[in-house]
Structure 1
């Protein structure tokens, strides 16, 4: 796979006014969300829920791609069309989560490292054959007393870089996600400092592993105060801090940055993205790759009547996609 083809796919992922739908929750994570709204967790309901999301009418107006879970990329619509083929036929790039989740980092209490590099090459090869054109790996960085440590940051950056190099080898655009968690009592200044160190480490590792940045997408967390800090940062403060951090760490050659919602509610995630884009232009497109912030309202509606509320739930999915598509253009605030 040529770098030019990877770069073309990466640019399509951050096409103007579009973002990425994150529906890559593991079976256990989706089970907790289903339980919260009273939906039975079985393969049929998981398939039906993912179909509801992916078959939302006109979704491609605001969604360029969707990150799937291993189970989902092997499933099909009720008519028997594999999800990945349905997506491709409807202008949405299929993506896949490939990491195996976090485990405690030995020797570093309170910190974790993402696993899943063993056997990754053949898995990526299979996912490409199943229709995936990009892949995602999530690292998790905690802020607390004396953490994150340099060891934790370096270990996760190394894993992200190895993942990215293997993706490009197999013709997949890597989406690297170094999430700095909102959990904790830290202030926004501490969040900024940690984000800066993490991103510098990440791009250094990508360089060391010969990853072509023009065929890579960054999935970033926003610079926010810890949710237990008691600190209230304005939308503008968060936008300014996040932009300053990105501009000091992220090379301009990167095709684009998509943000995770990271536990923010629907409106806050959209408002922060909108504010950043109103402060543009920037070296790269700033878009979204939201999960809960795109789905939570639709899941509640669907849970009330799994057979009868599909259309109503899809209307909510489309509305959230439209709102965030406006935010990508910096036009949500004016429309809200």
Structure 2
């Protein structure tokens, strides 16, 4: 299987520039960022270290692009570049927030500096992840038409989801239960009603909101793992046995999972550790841990759902028809 060598070269150059810029800032001082910081995480040498790891991974990938390399080494290289890519994306989590600030507050110097820094890190992370995907493909040699590894990957929606997908789904449900337990305690104590009244939010809007998050914490994760989330169950009548539209389930799963993981799992927990906010430990722990597990569980289940709902392989269908 061939991969696009230009992507690896672009990734390598981008990582090198990212390292040089942040090395310059670490030695000579960083510019004025929005809210005084580039990331929720410590700056200085941290982005330099992440950039160096990404550069080493992309350099190794570029050097071995057209060489015969063992599958184990390809998997190791894919793991290194994936780790660097995820770390860079997490470090650059403020990019969408900075982009929104630019749209509403204008191109002030601090916002522009933050946008370039976080945007550069986000692009560097995505490029690393693309290199990691290519390395994995070289290692497993999937079907050119459908991307599956026939004999190892699921071939249809009717197959059972793997155990780790069910684990992710039920971890998400448990996370939702932990979060909702705090809301129930506040409701019984009358605190939640008072907060809604002070916030001047209509009760009808709150009811709709609670119904939606309840569905996102129960039906959504279970649909990602169970067969009825991929093929309509018998009780829907004429739709029975037909394919559930892929993005009807996968889209909300990715959106809610990524949002909860990024906002609460990364930003929220980092701010809590830094002491930016506080409160009674147990309710706060249940909220933050609940949201985090809910988001991560959804993303895990989404990975299985995405694999199970890929379109059938045309080549395999032709071979079976012969």
User: TM-score scaled by structure 1?
Assistant: 0.23
Structure of higher CA gyration radius? 2
More helix, by proportion: 2
More strand, by proportion: 1
User: TM-score scaled by structure 2?
Assistant: 0.24
